[in-house]
Amino acid sequence: MCRLLAYLGSPISLAPLLWGPEHSLIVQSYQPQEMLSGVVNADGFGLGWYHAQRDTEPFTYKNTLPIWNDINLPNISRYVESGCVLGYVRSATPGQGLDFSNCQPFKYERLLFTHNGRIHKFQETLYRPIRNLLSDEIYQLIGGTTDSEHIFALLLNQWLANPGKSLEQALHTTLITLTELAQRYQTDVSANAIISDGHRLIASRFSTKSPAPSLYWIANDPTFPQSVIIASEPLFAGNWTSCPENSIISVKEDRDIRIEQI
């Protein structure tokens, strides 16, 4: 299982977010505390962020190296400044390739998407059924082989086919669809996901089989004032709140937080 991180708030450089906390995303790559499977997250990493002043499509930086082995990241993280950041470190499901096409965050226009979890025996169970639900446009966007990218494709399919739907509603419908498919094909799905358009964060803590992977949020901590952080594990000592199982967490641009049970 992977470890996720999302930040929404006053623009900051990536350095204090990635390197500063005592249990930072980098530390979680080699010393995670709450993973349900796997030992380390050494199968690559990725970052996505939005320009602090201009309303443009997001930027991404990815590598198949462990995050602690990337010699460019310390310099990049001191240079880049953003008010909306998504990141993850990867623990690859056995059988899934370690290449850039399988690195998150996945991107579509202004959207960034990260996922922690898995579809059990994905290739043998939901790989084809999910693809059968996709429009040709979304089908052609899939570049890798991961269950994560297919979940994102299913979400995009729901969202683009129903222009009146919010991202929260599209995510809700996607998770219900995955539940129905899991029941039909006798498998399990865990889907902690974070989506952003640069102005808000939408996250889920979800699993068809308890317990769901861990997910927390914290708002306006003195270390990171005027911000909301969502993470697989707390980055530092503070007033972190565990997200309820099978829920969707919505963080608006004004950092108002709403939680909806699925």
> Would you name the residues annotated as active-site residues?
2
- Six-digit token pair at 56? 């443009």
**Are the C-beta atoms of residues 115 and 174 closer than 8 Å to each other?**
no
Backbone phi, then psi, for 114, in 5-degree steps? Answer: -130, 155
- Compute the distance between CA of residue 58 and CA of residue 261 in angstroms, rounded to an integer: 29
Question: Considering only CA atoms, which of 34, 81, 37, 43 is closest in space to residue 62?
Answer: 43
- Compute the distance between CA of residue 193 and CA of residue 106 in angstroms, rounded to an integer: 11
DSSP lists the bridge partners of residue 231 as: 5, 216
